[in-house]
Amino acid sequence: MEIKIVGPGCKNCQKLKENVETAVSELGITPIITKVEDMAEIVKAGVMKTPGLIIDDKLVVSGRVAKPKEIKKLLQD
């Protein structure tokens, strides 16, 4: 499983990364987590509003910080 946090490195992007780390820790899984901060890559990923969350190449959240509970649900689907 691969998770990408997409955004320029703002406060909301950092919070989303923290929430992802909390969610995967609670689930006991070890996915590959990467940050995408390059603007060309952000646009290429289809993220028009940051932060964005991509799970296995599928954009699942854009323009807001998902809470750990929501992230856990997305990871289990």
Give the Cα separation of 75 and 54 in Å (integer).
Answer: 11
Q: Catalytic residue, from 3, 5, 6, 13: name it.
A: 13
Reply yes or no on whether 49 is catalytic: no
Reply yes or no on whether 10 is catalytic: yes
Give the Cα separation of 37 and 68 in Å (integer).
Answer: 21
**4 exposure class (CB count in 10 Å sphere: 0-12, 13-18, 19+):** buried
Tokens 């890559």, located at residue: 41
Q: Catalytic residue, from 1, 2, 9, 10: name it.
A: 10
List residues with catalytic annotation. Answer: 10, 13
